[in-house]
């Protein structure tokens, strides 16, 4: 029976190559919870989340057991909280704490959606939200935050970008006892997607249904092992192999996602196939590039190799699932990828090369530790650069940098668990300040006028 | 319900006996078996039918895992669907 070959291949993927379902994320709309009385509204938020997600963890674990594939993380994404239109840090903290305690009550790892969408402009309420973000991140454990600052349709909101530097630095200061960990829970986006199941950037978009199940599948180890032994193969042969492997991984995720959604009686949203590394041995995206023939991830050729990988993963995934969404591609979070950490420590992988690679990966500058004394405007300028790559190339980009309080280039910051450890990377010493302080709005690029 | 049981471990006396003993106890019918020794490692794949009125998937899974832990074997019990979905278009 041919099934035996398939069985052994699947078992090998699970046992040796770390195939898992990275996350089952329940999207919950909170639009019906908001109101003028923020205390009452935040209580409605807590009640709704705990009611709808009460069986999420248990169900995802059960389905994982039935099919023999671990569902590693169970998460929740909610409607961007900035829509609650509060006006003081005190009120925003009510919502942050409601999210955090609801996440703890239902036993999920992380909840995302303490977010704002300000790609074209900020309301006074959005401005007070941005001021509250550092406190919200410092006073919660399981809550993640994101802000969308630009889009291909609207350009880049440079007034908001200008505020990001000080906001991130403040978060770093408030969480300084924990290597500025608060910054690892915040992402600045351009072209944010509304159905992303991965953290820290997940939120439940306003165009989404009341309640959905989105699934994130990973598996860099499986892709790497599929390429081992392909010495002498041409680039197109490698691309084909990646595509086939991505197909299999996606199908596993699709099955689990549909089963979780049917057992909970909640519609299935999308499947996001993103090669997301973890600090575990053999679970690295950088290693895939090395198997392709680069001595180290970050050397010349890395952008081309990553471009091919991201594209082939998307193609395999799209064929395998009826609804592929989210970010789907390859993530390059430095601190979460063992080989990327090694390459950064050896001085091969630099900040500038990472920026180039983000123009072809599925997200952006991710989990990068930078010196604690990096000027505010330099951080804002990094975000502006990254947003420009996204806006001009019609793709999602994000920045998650951690200016680790008290650390210098070459030191090492360790956050433990899935977040890993990162050498503090050097940043450009020349000032971007006068440019950032101009504020205003970078106009939408010409290809946005397609209507 | 149809399930696939995979047993991998250092070859030793009585693996087949122990696995089938548990299956018998739980009223699980063995429909097909294949086994081989790959580099000193005993590898067995079974296609079984679980009679859920006698014992649930979870109970069978738990009993097999308990035995596997004692014997130093690696065992997987999975619904058949996963393999069809992953490997067939």
Q: What is the average pLDDT score of chain A?
A: 93
Q: What CA–CA distance (Å, rounded) separates A26 from A55? A: 11
Full DSSP string of A323-374: -B-SS-EE--BGGG-HHHHHHHHTT-S-HHHHHHHHTTSSS-EEEEEEETT-
Q: Does B43 touch chain A (CB under 8 A)?
A: yes
B39 interfacial to chain A (CB closer than 8 Å)? no
- pLDDT higher than threshold 80 for residue B25: yes
Q: What residue in B sits closest to A256 (Cα-Cα)?
A: B82
* Count of Cβ atoms closer than 10 Å to residue A368 Cβ: 27
The model's pLDDT over A220-251, given as tens digits with 9 standing for 90+, comes to 989 999 999 898 999 999 999 999 999 988 98
Which residues lie closer than 8 Å to A44 by C-beta, 6 or more apart? A32, A33, A35
Q: Which residues pair with A114 in a beta bridge?
A: A145
CA distance A425 to A423: 6
CATH number at residue B81: 3.30.70.260
Q: pTM for the complete prediction? A: 0.91
Q: Among A7, A9, A255, whose Cβ lies nearest the Cβ of B81?
A: A255
For chain B, say whether A65 makes contact (Cβ under 8 Å): yes
pLDDT for B1: 87
Q: Do B83 and A66 touch (CB under 8 A)?
A: no
- ipTM tops 0.90: no
- Residue A248's SS3 state is helix
Residues A441 and A234: their CA atoms lie apart, in Å, by 45
Q: CA angle at residue A410 from A406 to A413, to 5 degrees?
A: 55
Residue A139, domain CATH: 3.20.70.20
Name the pLDDT band for B70 (thresholds 50, 70, 90): very high
Residue A299 scores a pLDDT above 90: yes
Taking CB atoms and an 8 Å limit, are B82 and A3 in contact across chains? no
CA distance A4 to A54: 38
| Residue A2 binned pLDDT confidence (cut-offs 50, 70, 90) | low
Residue A197 DSSP class: -
- Average pLDDT over every residue of A318-334: 88
Among the ranges given (A101-105, A337-341, A374-378), the one the predictor scored with the smallest mean pLDDT: A337-341
Count structural domains, chain B.
Answer: 1
CB contact under 8 A, A68 and B81: no
Please give the average per-residue pLDDT across A142-152, as a whole number. 96
Strand-pair category, A110-117 with A143-151: parallel
B61 contact A CB<8A: yes
Number of Cβ within a 10 Å radius of residue A67: 26
The closest of A201, A211, A316 to A269, measured between CA atoms, is: A211
- pLDDT beyond 70 at A1: no
A6, A15, A254 ranked by CB distance to B87: nearest: A6
Evaluate if residue A114 carries a pLDDT over 90. yes
Q: Do A255 and B85 make contact, defined as CB atoms within 8 angstroms?
A: yes
Nearest Cα neighbor of A185 from A203, A173, A200 is: A200
**CA-based nearest distance A322→chain B, Å:** 13
Calculated CA dihedral for residues B15, B18, B19, B23, nearest 10 degrees: 160
Using the Cβ of A330 and the Cβ atoms of chain B, whether some distance falls under 8 Å is answered with: no
Residues 6+ apart with CB under 8 A from A13: A19, A219, A222, A248, A249
* Angstrom distance (rounded) from CA A311 to CA A319: 13
Average pLDDT over residues A64-81: 93
pLDDT in tens, B37-51: 877 788 899 999 999
Lowest mean pLDDT among A24-28, A272-276, A367-371, A407-411: A272-276
Pick from A371, A355, A220, A348: nearest CA to A294? A348
Share of chain A above pLDDT 90, in %: 81
Number of independent structural domains in chain A? 1
> Is there a contact between B32 and A1 if contact means CB atoms under 8 Å apart?
yes
The answer to whether B6 contacts A11, with C-beta atoms less than 8 Å apart, is yes
Q: Pseudo-torsion of CA A304, A309, A310, A312, nearest 10°?
A: 120
What are the pLDDT digits (tens) for A174-224? 999 999 999 999 999 999 999 999 998 999 999 999 999 999 988 898 999
* Domain encompassing residue B46: 2-87
Phi, psi of A318 (to 5 degrees): -65, -35
Residue-level pLDDT at A409: 93
Q: What are the backbone dihedrals phi and psi of residue B4, each rounded to the nearest 5 degrees, phi first? A: -115, 130
Please give the residue range of the domain that contains residue A29: 1-451
Name the residue among B4, B47, B82 with its Cβ closest to that of A255. Answer: B82
* Rounded CA separation A163/A118 (Å): 12
Q: Is A277 exposed, middle or buried (0-12, 13-18, 19+ CB in 10 A)?
A: buried
Chain A residue whose CA is closest to B62: A65
Burial A244-266 (b: 16+ CB within 10 A, else e): ebbbbbbbbbbbbbbbbbebbeb
């Amino acid at each position: 029976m041919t099934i035996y070959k398939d069985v052994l291949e699947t078992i090998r993927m699970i046992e040796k190559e770390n195939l898992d379902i990275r996350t089952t994320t329940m999207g919950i709309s909170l639009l019906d919870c908001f109101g003028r009385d923020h205390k009452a509204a935040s209580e409605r938020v807590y009640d709704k989340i705990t009611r709808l997600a009460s069986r999420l963890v248990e169900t995802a674990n059960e389905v994982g057991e039935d099919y023999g594939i671990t569902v590693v993380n169970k998460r929740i994404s909610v409607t961007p909280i900035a829509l609650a239109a509060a006006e003081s840090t005190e009120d925003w903290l009510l919502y942050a704490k409601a999210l955090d305690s609801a996440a703890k009550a239902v036993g999920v790892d992380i909840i995302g959606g303490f977010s704002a969408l300000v790609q074209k402009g900020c309301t006074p309420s959005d401005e007070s939200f941005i001021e509250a973000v550092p406190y919200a991140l410092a006073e919660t454990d399981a809550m993640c935050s994101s802000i969308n600052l630009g889009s291909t349709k609207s350009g880049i909101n440079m007034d908001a970008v200008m505020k990001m530097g000080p906001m991130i630095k403040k978060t770093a200061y408030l969480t300084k006892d924990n290597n500025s960990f608060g910054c690892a829970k915040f992402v600045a986006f351009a072209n944010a997607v509304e159905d992303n199941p991965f953290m820290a950037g997940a939120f439940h978009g306003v165009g989404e249904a009341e309640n959905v199940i989105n699934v994130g599948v990973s598996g860099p180890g499986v892709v790497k092992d599929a390429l081992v032994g392909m010495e002498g193969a041409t680039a197109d042969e490698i691309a084909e192999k990646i595509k086939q492997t991505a197909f299999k991984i996606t199908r596993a995720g699709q099955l689990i996602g549909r089963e979780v959604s049917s057992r909970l009686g909640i519609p299935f949203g999308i499947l996001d196939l993103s090669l997301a590394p973890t600090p575990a041995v053999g679970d690295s995206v950088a290693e895939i590039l090395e198997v392709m023939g680069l001595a180290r991830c970050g050397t010349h050729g890395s952008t081309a190799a990553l471009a091919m990988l991201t594209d082939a993963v998307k193609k395999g995934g799209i064929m395998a699932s009826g609804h592929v969404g989210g970010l789907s591609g390859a993530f390059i979070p430095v601190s979460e990828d063992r080989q990327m950490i090694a390459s950064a420590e050896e001085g091969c992988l630099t900040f500038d090369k990472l920026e180039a690679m983000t123009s072809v990966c599925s997200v952006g500058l991710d989990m990068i530790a930078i010196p604690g004394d990096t000027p505010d405007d330099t951080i804002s300028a990094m975000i502006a650069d990254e947003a420009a790559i996204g806006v001009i190339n019609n793709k999602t980009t994000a920045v998650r940098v951690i200016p680790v309080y008290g650390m210098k280039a070459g030191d090492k910051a360790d956050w433990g668990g899935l977040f890993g450890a990162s050498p503090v990377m050097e940043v450009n010493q020349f000032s971007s300040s006068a440019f950032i302080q101009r504020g205003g709005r970078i106009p939408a690029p010409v290809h946005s006028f397609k209507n | 319900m149809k399930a696939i049981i995979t047993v991998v471990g250092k070859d030793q006396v009585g693996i087949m006996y122990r696995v089938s003993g548990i299956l018998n106890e739980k009223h699980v019918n063995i429909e097909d078996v294949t086994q081989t020794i790959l580099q000193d490692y005993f590898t067995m794949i079974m296609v079984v039918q679980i009679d859920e009125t006698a014992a649930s998937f979870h109970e069978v899974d738990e009993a097999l895992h308990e035995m596997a832990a004692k014997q130093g074997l690696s065992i997987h019990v999975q619904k058949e669907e996963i393999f069809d979905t992953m490997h067939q278009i």
